[in-house]
Structure 1
Amino acid sequence: MTINLFSRVVPAIALFSAGIMLAQNYQTMPVSSGFTADVIANGIGSSNVSTNNDVDGVSYAFVAKDFQLTSTSAAITYGIPVDGVINSVVAGTPGLSYILGNLSGNNSLRLVAANDSGTLTFTTPKPAFTLYMLSTSGSGTSVVNVNVNFSDGSSQVFSNISISDWYGGANFAIQGIGRIKRSSDALESSSSDPRLYQTPLAIDAANQAKPIQSVVVTKVSGAGYPNIFAFSADVYSDCVPPVLQAVSGITANSALVSWTGNAASYDVYHSTSNTTPASSVTPTYPGVTGTSTTIGSLNSNTTYYYWVRSNCNTATGQSVWSFAGTFKTACSTFTVPYTENFDTTSVGSSTNTNAPSCWAYLESTSFAGYGYVAASNSYSAPNSYYLNNSTGTAGSQMLVAPPTINLSDGTKRVRFYARTGTTGTTLVIGTLSNPADPASFTQLGSPISLTTTHTQYTVNIPAGSDLQLAFKHGLGGTSRAIYIDNITVQNIPSCLEPTAVAPTNLTMNSATLGWTAPSSVPANGYEVYYSTTNTAPDASTVLNSSNSATSPSPSATLNSLSSDTNYYAWVRSVCSASDKSIWSEMAAFRTGYCLPSSSNQNSWLSAFSSTGSLIDMAYSSGSSVAGGYQNLTATNNKIINAPGATTSVSFTAGGPTCGIGVWVDWNNNLTFEASERMFVTGNYVTTTTGSITVPAGTPLGTYRMRVVTDFNSTGPSSACAAITRGEFVDFNFEVATSLSTSETSLKKKEISVYPNPFKDILHVADIRDVKSVTVTDVAGRIVKTIDNPTAELQLGELNSGLYLVTMNFKDGSKSTVKAIKK
């Protein structure tokens, strides 16, 4: 059996951990004299100036982070820290650091030949349990002896200490600090090299109380060049910190911490921060005389850190703080209502099962499936909870909710969304008497058969004794996926809300909403709230004639809406003047046609023209618009033809070849249905022709026509898609048997040109009302614009081919004709 606990919900089964190592009192040992070489290039200028020697005998030195060859050189991102502080990364000595010598002066005891030696004298002698040496060896490994001299004149010798080459060795304190060639100022960087190494020198018990005054380092052997840079110490004290033990007795607001030691008393300090307290900090619990204490007044479901120090009856008096211990308090029992949408929990995986804090993933012993928070298939983005039984067909796997006060008193319900990857997969809702034992699951009602679409479900929790809710996989076949989202546990209201709110009968200015009445039909009907924002109404929302409606039955018509606008609506039951249900789930609708989009507009509808209609159109464009959708129904770009008549059409795609499709909403229901696709290509084209036939019997009026140009589809199948490259353009297709006066005037503005094809000059039959002429090629590019044109258009510079010649009239209207250049 596996219980994956992001934070366990049961106080009796609590997460804990504590430091079990003895804390050290690490202090640096600054060197007052003895360095013989400056091997760290720093500041502005050549490395040959800021150093006087190399590390390895072949001209390479270390480089500091502030090195610049010139004041305009780019800053480097690697190197020795400018403050000279090296924080050791050796795992066994957390908190140990070193302080280097002056980066602008000698900073290394550099030894060349066997028997070369040097003495490093410390600024402040200190006694130590262990002395740590920071060093490296250039051009190969080397072996040294270290003689540690104490202030009483005695010494301790450490023989045959091997120092690794500055590239590739183990037990490094720092790596990836870069180097520079002094002869050329060529920089070299690596994420792992070069390195400085940490060597521990354990001081004998008889010497630990003696201050260390100096060290003498002597090269014994090896081809490498040893460089000694710094020392630090675990400073001796006869008052040692205690050793922490495992935390126990964890509740939602307290924990019992314990330790071992033999001091007269102890101080305890705790915090939600993992920063080690200073010696001057005021303890939370000072002067504890035993070896345990209860830390109280804590917040539930919170991670805490704690430290303990000894108060000794000796001259030293007080130890440093121990290593940090840590624990997490248990979750409090939840009260309703509460909601979990999984959006603030880190995503898990099949090998890293998880659940939100105070929730749990629970499965039978050796169950093959998994459950975790997934960043996909959500009802509300971005996350959902994912259960997959993999090859498991027997046993249990479930998501367990937090313990809930009075969960099974008969007055609670749970609402949630769920879907599956395989229609018919079931989800079982139930409760647990023991949240660590899947066998204690009690099923509530019948299994829920899921579909591949997120659906909201509501389950009332009957009277009983269990305090924890669980969502159990119904198993069945293998690898059945279940996604759960937006779980709400709440009191069962006295006035139940409607469900399944859905829009019907949409027009440009109205919509009808229908819904399913609750099992107990409200005595006073329903209230509907609608808005152009998706913010749900609450107790502060004021209903008025511009944002609401009432209805005695499960439907309502909303009038006087704005056209081409997104609306959101909610419905609630009115059981009495003082008792109303919560609002239903949101329903969204649009008073107009769907809004398609394209993420790339490098393909577009370059030209669209018609012939044979009562009024023909000649549209052209040199580019698309941002978003890939244009609504041109308010312009003169329209076709007019009679019922049953056929209009010849031609299209040009801008950019590379595309697929093209045309829909006309003949039933004016604001939807482009499959049967209303009137033209479509069968392959990728640049130019193409076809026809659109008005269905016989179509009522006279204006209809929305949408042209789709899609770079990724030979035959576009949706007029409402979000495509990756292309364009959607809306026009009007008007059905009429004769032309109005204004349309007749528009028809008269069609101007003929000759000769066609032409060689150099294209003549315009009537130029009087023409303000300018625009010439466009078949790719939609404007190749020439002529302001205040004459009847003779000089077009001799154009290449041979087909062009669209657009007459721009002084009243703002246009007329476009095709012309062929020989």
Structure 2
Amino acid sequence: MKRNFTSLSFRYLLPVLLLFPIAQADAVYTQVALTGFTQDVVANGVGLPSTSTTSAFDNTAYTLVAQNYQASGTGPVPTFFLPNSGTINSITTTGLSWQLASYTGNNSLRLVANNSTGTLTFGTTGLTGDIYVLGAAGDGGTAGVNATFKVNFSDGTFQQFTGVNFGDWYNGSPVAIQGIGRANRTNGVLDGTTTNPRLYEKKLTLSLSNYGKTITNILVTKNTAAGYLNIMGITVDHQTCLPVMGLNATGTTTTSSNLAWTAPVSTQGYEYAITTSATPPASGTFISTNSFNPTTLNAGTTYYLHVRNSCGSGSFSVWNSYSFSTLVCPTAGAPVTSNNIPGSVTITWPGSTDPAIALYQ
């Protein structure tokens, strides 16, 4: 047979970078010492809340209460309260906690007017990773209060999160702590149940390109006219093992691809996995280099390369994932016959310019 090779067009799916920060072995929840709180909304010690706070949590009626609060020396002690230690352990996320500011000073970034702003500056330095914000809205109604969080880094860059919603301090979610009690700021009467009031946790997930950047402060903007936003704590899921970046696939054919990534500053190797699922696996295959060439892929298939940094002693970074697609094996063109004579015929068809495609049946 005679083969007449001509160019064929192939269908590609362009590689797309996918960022999937998920739970990892070495992240450390680190409570952040903050400055920038504007009001004291936690009644503590003996005396009416109006004497130990500067503002209500909601409009003008109620404050939160500390464990040691009493309206008078002979008054009832609270059944529902914030612990004297100020440590809040999440009932939603295992291992996550916050440290409230002192009950004897400002302990809430309280924003009232629409588009009002406040900045919480990190006193704990060198932190990088996803951010967990503790807060709630007073008089938030069913819609709650929306806010924008601008996370500023030491290199002058930032990442902004919009539409972060904090529910009213009654009956919302996701709950960090509930049943913390409150008191009327004027007469000191206690109020609360086993489930209300509440504080909520909101996770701000950094882009992987911002892992390794030191967080310096967070600018908070209230984007809702109604309600009273109270931000009371921040904890960072601090990353001690930085992720790999720059995942790429080149020279992709129907069955192979050259896969590589940029090595982080500190590494003792990597774990990788090639799957057809966008979700990273629990673990992968160890490799000491930052590139390799799989040769047994299937044609016309979208794959996901998942890679994480290994920092030794069982410590790993978050996964970074990248999608790429192998080439589709083209169908042969329609054959053409020529030189038909008795007992002989010449058959030709368009051929492939891909050297990996060299067999025809």
Alignment TM class, shorter chain as reference = 0.5 to 0.7
Contact 2:138 2:227 in 1 (8 A): yes
TM-superposition CA deviations, 1:628-656 (whole Å, max 9, x none): xxxxxxxxxxxxxxxxxxxxxxxxxxxxx
Q: Which is greater in Rg?
A: 1
Contact 2:130 2:236 in 1 (8 A): yes
Contact 1:125 1:151 in 2 (8 A): no
- Residue equivalent to 2:165: 162
1:234 alignment partner, one of 232, 237, 256: 237
Q: CA deviation at 1:259?
A: 5.9
- Residue equivalent to 1:185: 188
Within 2, Cα distance between the matches of 1:129 and 1:208?
6
Aligned residue for 1:206, secondary structure, equals helix
Q: CA deviation at 1:105?
A: 0.4
Trace 1:339-488 onto structure 2 (pairs within 5 A). none
Within 1, Cα distance between the matches of 2:170 and 2:208?
35
Letter of the structure 1 residue corresponding to residue 82 of structure 2 = I
Aligned residue for 1:149, secondary structure, equals strand
Trace 1:315-714 onto structure 2 (pairs within 5 A). 319=315
1:142 alignment partner, one of 117, 127, 145: 145
1:120 aligns with 2:116: no
Within 1, Cα distance between the matches of 2:90 and 2:175?
8
Contact 2:39 2:109 in 1 (8 A): yes
Letter of the structure 2 residue corresponding to residue 30 of structure 1 = A
Q: CA deviation at 1:221?
A: 1.2
Contact 1:45 1:70 in 2 (8 A): yes
152 and 195 in structure 1: CA distance in 2 versus 1, 3 angstrom threshold = same
Within 1, Cα distance between the matches of 2:117 and 2:147?
9
- Residue equivalent to 1:215: 218
Letter of the structure 1 residue corresponding to residue 38 of structure 2 = T
1:205 alignment partner, one of 204, 208, 219: 208
Aligned residue for 2:151, secondary structure, equals strand
Aligned residue for 2:124, secondary structure, equals strand
Aligned residue for 1:66, secondary structure, equals coil
Q: CA deviation at 1:206?
A: 1.2
311 and 22 in structure 1: CA distance in 2 versus 1, 3 angstrom threshold = closer
Contact 1:87 1:95 in 2 (8 A): yes
Q: CA deviation at 1:123?
A: 0.6
Letter of the structure 2 residue corresponding to residue 169 of structure 1 = G
Q: CA deviation at 1:128?
A: 2.9
Q: How many residues align?
A: 238
> What percent identity do the matched residue pairs reach?
38
Q: CA deviation at 1:222?
A: 4.0
TM-score normalised by structure 2 residue count:
0.61
223 and 164 in structure 1: CA distance in 2 versus 1, 3 angstrom threshold = same
Contact 1:115 1:220 in 2 (8 A): yes
Q: CA deviation at 1:111?
A: 0.5
RCO higher in structure (CA 8 A, sep ≥6): 2
Contact 1:41 1:67 in 2 (8 A): yes
Q: CA deviation at 1:262?
A: 3.8
- What RMSD in Å do the two structures reach over aligned CA positions? 2.8
Letter of the structure 2 residue corresponding to residue 178 of structure 1 = G
- Residue equivalent to 1:224: 227
Contact 1:127 1:208 in 2 (8 A): no
212 and 261 in structure 1: CA distance in 2 versus 1, 3 angstrom threshold = farther
1:37 aligns with 2:33: no
Within 2, Cα distance between the matches of 1:261 and 1:97?
33
- Residue equivalent to 1:107: 107
TM-superposition CA deviations, 1:763-815 (whole Å, max 9, x none): xxxxxxxxxxxxxxxxxxxxxxxxxxxxxxxxxxxxxxxxxxxxxxxxxxxxx
1:22 alignment partner, one of 10, 24, 30: 24
77 and 320 in structure 1: CA distance in 2 versus 1, 3 angstrom threshold = farther
263 and 86 in structure 1: CA distance in 2 versus 1, 3 angstrom threshold = farther
259 and 102 in structure 1: CA distance in 2 versus 1, 3 angstrom threshold = same
Within 1, Cα distance between the matches of 2:231 and 2:190?
23
- Residue equivalent to 1:75: 77
Contact 2:38 2:110 in 1 (8 A): yes
- Residue equivalent to 1:694: none
Within 2, Cα distance between the matches of 1:154 and 1:61?
37
TM-superposition CA deviations, 1:701-747 (whole Å, max 9, x none): xxxxxxxxxxxxxxxxxxxxxxxxxxxxxxxxxxxxxxxxxxxxxxx
Q: CA deviation at 1:21?
A: 5.6
Q: CA deviation at 1:183?
A: 1.1
Q: CA deviation at 1:127?
A: 3.5
Contact 1:239 1:311 in 2 (8 A): no
Contact 2:179 2:196 in 1 (8 A): yes
- Residue equivalent to 2:57: 55
Within 2, Cα distance between the matches of 1:318 and 1:103?
40
Aligned residue for 1:125, secondary structure, equals coil
Aligned residue for 1:217, secondary structure, equals strand
1:176 aligns with 2:175: no
- Residue equivalent to 1:364: none
Contact 2:79 2:181 in 1 (8 A): no
Gaps of 5+ in 2: 1-21, 244-269, 272-281, 289-308, 319-361
1:196 alignment partner, one of 192, 199, 204: 199
- Residue equivalent to 2:346: none
Letter of the structure 1 residue corresponding to residue 125 of structure 2 = P
Within 2, Cα distance between the matches of 1:106 and 1:208?
31
Letter of the structure 2 residue corresponding to residue 188 of structure 1 = D
Contact 1:126 1:235 in 2 (8 A): no
Q: CA deviation at 1:260?
A: 4.4
TM-score normalised by structure 1 residue count:
0.27
Letter of the structure 2 residue corresponding to residue 319 of structure 1 = S
Letter of the structure 1 residue corresponding to residue 133 of structure 2 = M
Within 1, Cα distance between the matches of 2:42 and 2:72?
17
Aligned residue for 1:126, secondary structure, equals coil
Within 1, Cα distance between the matches of 2:90 and 2:138?
20
Within 1, Cα distance between the matches of 2:46 and 2:315?
45
Within 2, Cα distance between the matches of 1:45 and 1:82?
16
Within 1, Cα distance between the matches of 2:212 and 2:72?
50
- Residue equivalent to 2:321: none
Q: CA deviation at 1:26?
A: 1.1
- Residue equivalent to 1:65: 67
Within 1, Cα distance between the matches of 2:225 and 2:44?
29
Trace 1:650-799 onto structure 2 (pairs within 5 A). none
TM-superposition CA deviations, 1:446-485 (whole Å, max 9, x none): xxxxxxxxxxxxxxxxxxxxxxxxxxxxxxxxxxxxxxxx
165 and 179 in structure 1: CA distance in 2 versus 1, 3 angstrom threshold = same
Q: CA deviation at 1:238?
A: 2.3
Q: CA deviation at 1:153?
A: 1.3
Contact 2:65 2:183 in 1 (8 A): yes
Within 2, Cα distance between the matches of 1:21 and 1:228?
25
- Residue equivalent to 1:590: none
Letter of the structure 2 residue corresponding to residue 211 of structure 1 = T
TM-superposition CA deviations, 1:564-588 (whole Å, max 9, x none): xxxxxxxxxxxxxxxxxxxxxxxxx
- Residue equivalent to 2:133: 133
Within 2, Cα distance between the matches of 1:210 and 1:66?
40
